[in-house]
Amino acid sequence: MKRLGILISGRGSNLEAIADHIARGTLDAEIAIVIASRAEARGLEAARDRGLPAISIPSKGLDREVYDRLLLDELRKHAVDLVCLAGFMRLLSASFIRQFPNRILNIHPSLLPAFSGLDAQHQALEHGVKITGCTVHFVDEELDAGPIVIQAAVPVEAGDTVESLSARILKEEHRIYSEAIRIVLSGRYRIEARRVILI
Ligand code: GRF
């Protein structure tokens, strides 16, 4: 069974969705460890309520390389095959990323490369796009930039607020993250330049 390491900073709803897929048998994997960058992350509690191993490694005040070394030690200790960033609000160092080549996924609440960075839903509303969505991509050394595994489109509706739009996108996030994990764990893909090609 492939082992997931899930990194969070906050609410943890994507983490919960992944755990639900595993529990329902629609994703064949196990969550080896949940690591939060903040002790007060709500997702930590949700993980523990489900009996998942979950710890916090507070990042505050730590140098990036030092922090990433702590993360790496923990992920190695739990023999993690695939690292899933799920609302993890930190940039990872190049040396960390090199330890998991094409073995780190991230989910972002826009159709990348549009609206990378913070507050993607707000950016989409401000820009006035009619369609936005979410993206699961491999993590490389640039922010929100690695090869795209899956995207889902979500309409922007008249009268949308950041909250209503975020909620509509989140439903799709919860679906496509597990789908992307399934693809990557199956190994039935190859990457050509930036394109993830399913085999
Ligand atoms: C999601 O919108 C995700 O796309 C973004 O951060 C949010 C995390 O939400 N990277 P949650 O912590 O999984 O509920």
Both structure tokens of 169: 């996108």
- How big, in percent rounded to 5, are the helix, strand and coil portions of the chain? 35, 25, 40
Q: What pLDDT score was predicted for residue 32? A: 98
Ligand 1 centre to CA of 183 (Å) is 20
The pLDDT value recorded for residue 60 is 87
123 and 41 co-located in one domain = no
Structure tokens at 37: 């960058």
Residue 103, φ and ψ in degrees, nearest 5 = -130, 25
Q: Which of 21, 78, 108, 127 is catalytic?
A: 108
- The total domain count for the chain is 2
Query: What's the domain range around 88?
Result: 1-100
Residue ending a domain, choose from 100, 123, 146: 100
Is residue 119 located within the same domain as residue 193? yes
Kindly state if the Cβ of 87 falls inside 6 Å of ligand 1.
yes
Atom of ligand 1 nearest to the CA of 15: 13
Q: Is the same domain home to 47 and 139?
A: no
Q: Are residues 55 and 140 in the same domain?
A: no
Q: What is the pLDDT of residues 21-59, one digit of tens each?
A: 999 999 999 999 999 999 999 999 999 999 999 999 998
Whether 127 is catalytic is no
Same domain, 122 and 54: no
Poorest-pLDDT segment among 1-10, 70-79, 140-149: 140-149
pLDDT per residue as tens digits for the range 139-188? 998 888 899 999 999 999 999 999 999 999 999 999 999 999 999 999 99
Q: Which residue type is seen at 189?
A: Y
